[in-house]
Amino acid sequence: MSTAGPHDVGVPVGPRTTLRGFRPGDLETIMEIVAEALRERYEPGLYATLSADWPDGFLVAVDDADRPIGFLLGVHQVAGEGRVLMFAVDRRARREGVGTELMRTFLDRCRARGLRRATLEVRVGNAAALRLYARFRFSVVDLLRGYYSDGENGYQMARDLN
């Protein structure tokens, strides 16, 4: 499977799911996924701005009707580092490997850009995400006290890209 191609070339993930770059028409569905999965609402313009900064870092998983069922929004703000800013799969599509393919492809895109490290933040109580990140060899590098708006602590996690 090719994973380092241009952002507008879809990467097939199984029979019904494809990974492709963000398109403006995805915004409404992605904001619904964010509201449910991350319990946050970000300013709508943020998505297009970050996509323009690094199109290959914003991966959208779509179903066979081209409707988003998950996404990973990565940013490149620190030299040599890719950071997962948002990552969520629609709850109806979870546990089918979509999150794994999003993360695998994101790490490939980081390598294609010559980045040497990947980082992310996660709620200390998010067992599902922690398990996925451990499988991708992320490890905890810092405890972020009161990091989330409801006061929950976060972990900063990181891994080398080799």
Ligand X SMILES: CC(C)(COP(=O)(O)OP(=O)(O)OC[C@H]1O[C@@H](n2cnc3c(N)ncnc32)[C@H](O)[C@@H]1OP(=O)(O)O)[C@@H](O)C(=O)NCCC(=O)NCCS
Give the residue nearest to ligand X (CB): 99
Residue among 40, 49, 124 nearest 88 (CA): 40
Taking the CB of residue 154, how many other CB atoms lie within 10 A of it? 19
Nearer to ligand X (CB atom), residue 81 or residue 96: 96
Contacts of the segment 89-93: beta carbons below 8 A, 24+ positions apart: 89/33, 89/37, 89/61, 90/33, 90/36, 90/37, 91/36, 91/37, 93/17, 93/61, 93/63, 93/69
Instruction: Choose one: 6-14, 49-57, 91-99, 106-114; the region binding ligand X (CB under 6 A).
Output: 91-99
Of 54, 58, 87, 106, the one binding ligand X (CB under 6 A) is: 87
Please tell me whether residue 88 binds ligand X under the rule CB under 6 A: yes
Nearer to ligand X (CB atom), residue 88 or residue 107: 88
In angstroms, give the least distance from the CB of 132 to ligand X: 3
Burial class (CB in 10 A: 0-12, 13-18, 19+), 136: middle
Nearer to ligand X (CB atom), residue 54 or residue 138: 138
In angstroms, give the least distance from the CB of 38 to ligand X: 6
In angstroms, give the least distance from the CB of 125 to ligand X: 10
Instruction: Choose one: 21-29, 52-60, 89-97, 145-153; the region binding ligand X (CB under 6 A).
Output: 89-97
Report 100-159 residues binding ligand X (CB under 6 A).
100, 122, 126-129, 131-132, 135
Q: Find residue 75's DSSP bridge partners.
A: 83
Please tell me whether residue 65 binds ligand X under the rule CB under 6 A: no
**Residues of the shown chain interacting with ligand X in the complex, contacts defined by CB under 6 A:** 37-38, 87-89, 94-100, 122, 126-129, 131-132, 135
